[in-house]
Amino acid sequence: MFHKVKKNKQKIVRPRPSTPKGFKDYFHLYSKKRVSLIKEICEVYELYGFENLETSAIENLDALGKYLPDIDRPNQGVFSWKDEENNWLALRYDLTAPLARVYAQHLKELPLPYRRYSWGPVWRNEKPGPGRYRQFYQCDADTVGAHSAVSDAEMCIMLSTIIEKIGIRKDRYVINLNNRKILNGILEAVGILNNNEIDKNLSDMVLRSIDKIDRLGLLGVKDLLGKGRRDDSGDFTSGANLNKVQIDHILQFINMKQDNNTKTLKNIKDLVGDSSTGNQGIKEIEQILELSEAAGVFEDRIRVSPSTVRGLGYYTGPVYEVELTEKIENEDGTVNEIGSVAGGGRYDDLIKRFTGQVIPATGFSLGVDRLLFALNQIKSKTETHEKGPIIITIMEKDKLSEYQKIVIELRRAGIKSELYQGNPKDLGRQLKYADKRGSKFAIIMGSNELNRGVVQIKDLELGSRISSQIKSHEEWKDQPAQVEILREKLIDFITNYSNNF
């Protein structure tokens, strides 16, 4: 007697299809909008005489430096690993650190000043949150080798040009301007010193704390300047451990923005006192304001803002941010102002890490994804969706070569088109596909039309309400949204009929 041997079927474990935490997939329409926005921005860069530079997404870890604002994260906030030769590599966290490496590497070949723009994705190993991803696009412009505040003013002027070019009204944005030298003067005044010099580690901690004011508010910054702060998730961030007098002096400074630049600067001078560093920063701010006004960027669009510090540790002089003041609904459902979409400043010591000599530099970065999100929110009431391709339906499989000829003819005329490649079981299925693609037209042609030298053109926008009820080619012919034209007139008809297509 034989017994059947029971075979154990091993359970197949399939990977879960999900994006990693802090990352996001972007489909065609979003990607196309992003490319279009970057193109508009880069046109301004080239108008101002900047040239494109494309750097590697991967850098040697030591070339990036430890400048990220969120240094409590693993690997100093970057995604890093060792290669086969035991060298540490990392994904770039911004486009400025790679520029410093490139200039130091090619300084004998590049002009001085060197004016470059660059765009692409960057990666940060930081704690993700609503609208805060670990991969995002930046679009930068920088001038290397210019000492004067003229180059800082040009950055502010160029930012204003870009923001207005992409459709933001003059009364819906402001460029917030400050100077790290002023901040250093305040820190000197409150005694954040080490051997009569600014204590860099403590200074960086204070600046990173101030930089979070938009997200945490004044009380949150106060906690970070003191013993520390615990967030809603329970994570604790250690504070700068300043005393009450020091904290009050710093809070007084960052909360002193007045209704005009003259008043704000006067109050800053009082707090800075005799600090030569702080007063030098004030003079640079005054020069930037003067040059910006000469270029038509007045006080309504550029304001002195003591709370603007920029979290990155490599800034040494003027710093600035573009803030959009339009109120929108965020991805997490809250409603508030859009906030910062661009920022930058002067970083005279960054290239010195490689060369040993000071090579001044200034520049800014536009957060492309944040800016695109803002533009989509602002324009959502008036924006029309991009139309999909014209769909050539398949009525008879033995006529595929004729349908292919139509597709080629349309494409040669620059008209976006597609031959239906699904299962052509019925016309209704093909038209539903065209609706899902957002197509304006579908072209229908069987033996009858082929023999008479005509095609049927279905306007899907007019016919979408009845598409689910009609199955046959003959029924479609009787609909007002469908017209018959001579095959040889197809291109002329599409071009003339769809000027707005």
Q: What is the end-to-end Cα distance of the chain in Å, rounded? A: 77
In this structure, is the dihedral angle defined by the CA atoms of residues 408, 412, 413 and 418, taken in order, positive or negative? Answer: positive
Q: What is the pLDDT of residues 217-253, one digit of tens each?
A: 888 888 888 888 888 877 888 888 888 888 888 888 8
Per-residue model confidence as pLDDT tens digits over 65-89: 877 655 444 456 899 999 999 999 9
Please tell me the distance from the alpha carbon of residue 218 to that of residue 215, in angstroms, as a whole number: 9
Report how far residue 407's alpha carbon sits from residue 442's, in angstroms, rounded to the nearest whole number: 12
Highest mean pLDDT among 287-296, 318-327, 483-492: 287-296
Half-sphere exposure of 366 (CA within 13 A, CB side): 32
For range 10-29, the mean pLDDT: 91
Question: CB of 364 within 8 A of CB of 341?
Answer: no
Picking from 6-10, 305-309, 386-390, which range would have the lowest pLDDT averaged per residue? 6-10
Which whole number is the average pLDDT over 287-296?
95
The 10s digit of each residue's pLDDT in 105-155 is 999 999 999 999 999 999 999 888 777 899 999 999 999 999 889 999 999
* 3-class DSSP state of 310: coil
Instruction: Enter the pTM of the model.
Output: 0.77
> Is residue 382's pLDDT more than 50?
no
Q: Could you write out the DSSP letters of every residue in 167-180?
A: T--GGGEEEEEEEH
Q: What is the pLDDT of residue 175?
A: 97
Average pLDDT, the chain: 86
> Alpha-carbon distance 145 to 205, whole Å?
29
Phi and psi dihedrals of 494, rounded to 5? Answer: -60, -45
- pLDDT at position 179 is 95
Quote the pLDDT of residue 201: 75
pLDDT category at 6 given cuts 50, 70, 90 is low
pLDDT category of residue 463 using cuts at 50, 70 and 90: low
CB atoms within 10 A of CB 27: 7
pLDDT confidence of residue 73:
47
Mean pLDDT within 465-478? 55
264 vs 387, residue with greater confidence? 264
- Give the pLDDT confidence score for residue 74 in this predicted structure: 43
Contacts of 84 (CB under 8 A, 6+ apart): none
Lowest-confidence pick of 109-113, 318-322, 329-333, 371-375: 329-333
Q: Which residue has the higher pLDDT, 472 or 59?
A: 59
Domains of the chain with CATH codes = 28-379 (3.30.930.10), 390-497 (3.40.50.800)
Q: Are 154 and 286 in contact (CB under 8 A)?
A: no
**CA 141/CA 51 separation, integer angstroms:** 9
Q: What is the mean pLDDT of residues 449-464?
A: 83
- 292: Cβ contacts below 8 Å, ≥ 6 apart: 153, 156, 157, 160, 298, 302
